Structure 1
Amino acid sequence: MLQTALHFSHTLLKEVIQVGDIVVDATMGNGNDTAFLAELVGSTGLVYAFDVQEKALINTEKKLTELGLKDQTTLLHQGHETLGEAIPEETQLTAAIFNLGYLPKSDKQVITKPDTTKKALDALLARLKPKGRIILVVYYGHTGGEAELALVQEYSQKLPQEEYSVLTYQFINQKNNPPILFCFEKK
């Protein structure tokens, strides 16, 4: 059976993340990806997790505490566009994940935006180690979602083939705008 975009994102991350690595959850949300990443990097690794909504931080901190994963995480109550300032420039990242759209069961007016996503991607690419991956799961069925999808598609297509491999994963015969996964892998 084919994996959903979310499950496939975890498969792609598991292939490259090892214990002790440094990774990013660019859109913390309810903490599911943050917890997944924290398990992969173990107690000697580090997950930087970003979100602009206080509710996301509260939900994530609770989840990480319950799972005993809080020590290997740094939760930041700020947008992913600030990761260039929040993460030291010399840091070598193994992976990052974005779920672009809005926080489920929350204010649908608070969405990720093309300009902040581009700024975050620029900062991540500068810190990504060889064989590292950036995963973007793009939810685009809401107001503003199409513009962000267009940005990610254009950004992906402009990455130099000599430096990056880029893949998309999409169900094309499903209703209700199923998310599209993008994966950038540094060569």
Structure 2
Amino acid sequence: MKLQPSLYYSHTLINQTVVTGDYVIDATAGNGNDTSYLSSIVGSKGRVYSFDIQSAAINNTKKLLSERKQLDNVTLYNCGHENIGKLIKEKITCAIFNLGYLPGQDTNKNIITHSDTTLRAIKACLKLLKKNGLVIIVLYYGHPGGQQEKNDVINFASKLNQKFFTVLKYQFINQINEPPILIAIQKKKDEFI
């Protein structure tokens, strides 16, 4: 058995949760890899809602989806993920967050995700989530502001009521340079406090 880095483990969890026809959210479109991955799973009867505050990220995602002929089942939102609760009304099976900054050599690494908007987005996704659905959060925190967001997200997730949610924390503990941490929140009941 080979242990998977957080990014690939997130795809393993998605594979165990998402099926054709599902509605899902990529809360941080980035370069479009998770949006494309989700699009391939939900198929023509499903829908991916993909958010990013940076137009460069939306453009990168749109280009990738166009190359892969996946634009038909994706809605792109060039706005922050804190707007999920206002814009999405359907029940979802999964949401994924890759927190930090837009990867790439030519990107502005000063534009980062922040605790206040991220927590609003996570809470909105938990409300939209179907029973047994997942919210997956990959924490990249080796940048200014990243430690605070990491601590706030872990603190929030650790206090979720175990009657309504199961929370997993997946990380390598012997790696240098702040390796990503994956948090997976599974909803156990349709209604929660």
- TM-score for both structures, normalised by structure 2: 0.95
* 1:130-141 equivalences in 2 (<5 Å): 130-141=131-142
Q: What amino acid maps onto 1:32 in structure 2?
A: N
RMSD of the TM alignment (CA)?
Answer: 0.5
What is the alpha-carbon distance in structure 2 between the residues aligned to residue 113 and residue 20 of structure 1? 32
Match of 1:63 in 2: 64
Gaps (5+ residues) in structure 2? 189-193
Residue of structure 1 in register with 2:191 after alignment: none
Hey, what's the Cα distance between the residues in 2 that align with 1:115 and 1:49?
19
Q: How much does 1:75 deviate?
A: 0.3
What are the equivalent positions in structure 2 for 1:13-162 lying under 5 Å apart?
Answer: 13-88=14-89, 91-105=90-104, 106-162=107-163
Runs of 4+, deviation exceeding 2 Å: none
Segments of structure 1 that go 5 or more residues without pairing to the other structure are none
Task: Quote the offset at 1:122 in angstroms.
Answer: 1.1
- Relative to the length of structure 1, the TM-score reads 0.98
**Structure 2 counterpart of 1:184:** 185
TM superposition shift of 1:60: 0.5
Distance 2:175 2:181 in 1: 12
Measure the CA separation in 2 of the matches of 1:157 and 1:136. 13
Alpha-carbon shift at residue 54 of structure 1 (Å)? 0.7
The number of residues matched between the two structures is 185
Q: Which amino acid aligns with 1:154?
A: N
SS of equivalent to 1:125: helix
